[in-house]
């Protein structure tokens, strides 16, 4: 579904991605793990079209993406839930959700998807009129995911969804992600919580200093002593 081929991305003079190649298959969850500054967020932003490539290519469903602006990528089914969530704090939960569907014109389909999102993330239903800025961290993360789902993605890019959340909320978020994956949405999951991410995903890609250090079956990588020592706090 997604082919990232020898991608380079620079932030000014800093080479944040240096020849990264990976792919995401239809319906799978791919975890991206790696230390701070490895290039994980940069990779998601490049896929979403928020950062230009300085080399390589990204293909989605067989077509090159690199000339397409972010809003066209959203229309084609790619949705990003950014680190820090990017919510509109003074707008209500309902309005933030509606913004996720801004490019869609079939009101009945949007209403039915909204109902589905509220069933998946029931805490949001109780808080529809509350302003997003007054939600707890976990609820804000759920809102950010719900808003992305209203774009009806086929490929969901999640940047550190468990960041800053209490353990119980981390459980809730991971359960919601697993449910989204069961509904057939492909997911690229960037996570510091590598162990949890790897137990949810079939495959994992390890980034280090802007390059793919390892990639493969999540269960096998989890048992690899080098991965365990570097990213999982030992076995």
Ligand X SMILES: Nc1ncnc2c1ncn2[C@@H]1O[C@H](COP(=O)(O)OP(=O)(O)OP(=O)(O)O)[C@@H](O)[C@H]1O
8 Å CB contact between 156 and 168 = no
Instruction: Examine residue 41 and tell whether it contacts ligand X (CB under 6 A).
Output: yes
Instruction: Examine residue 37 and tell whether it contacts ligand X (CB under 6 A).
Output: yes
Instruction: Examine residue 34 and tell whether it contacts ligand X (CB under 6 A).
Output: yes
Kindly tell me the burial class for residue 87, based on how many C-beta atoms sit within 10 Å of its own C-beta (0-12, 13-18, 19 or more): buried
Give the nearest distance from C-beta 39 to ligand X in angstroms.
4
Give the nearest distance from C-beta 40 to ligand X in angstroms.
3
Give the nearer residue to ligand X in terms of CB position, either 120 or 163: 163
Number of residues located near ligand X, criterion CB under 6 A = 12
Kindly tell me the burial class for residue 228, based on how many C-beta atoms sit within 10 Å of its own C-beta (0-12, 13-18, 19 or more): middle
Detail the DSSP E strand segments found in the chain: 2-11, 14-24, 29-33, 55-60, 63-64, 78-81, 155-159, 186-190, 203-208, 211-217
Instruction: Examine residue 4 and tell whether it contacts ligand X (CB under 6 A).
Output: no
Give the nearest distance from C-beta 232 to ligand X in angstroms.
15
Instruction: Name the segment binding ligand X (CB under 6 A); options: 7-15, 57-65, 90-98, 178-186.
Output: 7-15
Secondary structure of residue 29 in the 3-state scheme: strand
CA distances from 205 to 13, 57, 77 (A): 25, 18, 22
Instruction: Examine residue 18 and tell whether it contacts ligand X (CB under 6 A).
Output: no
Give the nearer residue to ligand X in terms of CB position, either 110 or 156: 156
Residues lying near ligand X in the complex (CB under 6 A) are found at: 11-12, 14, 16, 34, 36-42
């Amino acid at each position: 579904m997604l082919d990232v081929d020898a991608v380079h991305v620079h932030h000014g003079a800093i080479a944040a991605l240096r020849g990264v190649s990976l792919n995401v298959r239809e319906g799978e969850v791919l975890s991206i793990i790696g230390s701070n500054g490895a290039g994980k967020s940069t990779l998601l932003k490049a896929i979403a079209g928020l950062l230009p490539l300085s080399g390589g290519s990204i293909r989605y469903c067989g077509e090159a993406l690199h000339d397409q602006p972010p809003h066209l990528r959203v229309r084609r089914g790619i949705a990003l839930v950014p680190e820090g969530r990017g919510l509109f704090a003074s707008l209500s939960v309902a309005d933030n959700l509606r913004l996720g569907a801004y490019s869609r014109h079939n009101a009945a389909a949007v209403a039915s998807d909204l109902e589905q999102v509220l069933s998946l993330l029931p805490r949001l239903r109780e808080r529809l009129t509350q302003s997003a800025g007054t939600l707890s961290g976990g609820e804000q993360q759920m809102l950010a995911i719900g808003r992305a789902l209203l774009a009806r993605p086929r490929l969901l890019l999640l940047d550190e969804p468990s960041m800053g959340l209490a353990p119980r909320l981390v459980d809730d978020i991971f359960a919601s992600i697993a449910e989204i994956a069961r509904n057939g949405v492909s997911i690229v999951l960037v996570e510091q919580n590598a162990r949890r991410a790897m137990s949810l995903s079939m495959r994992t890609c390890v980034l280090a200093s802007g390059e793919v250090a390892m990639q493969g079956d999540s269960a096998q990588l989890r048992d690899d002593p080098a991965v365990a020592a570097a990213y999982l706090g030992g076995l």
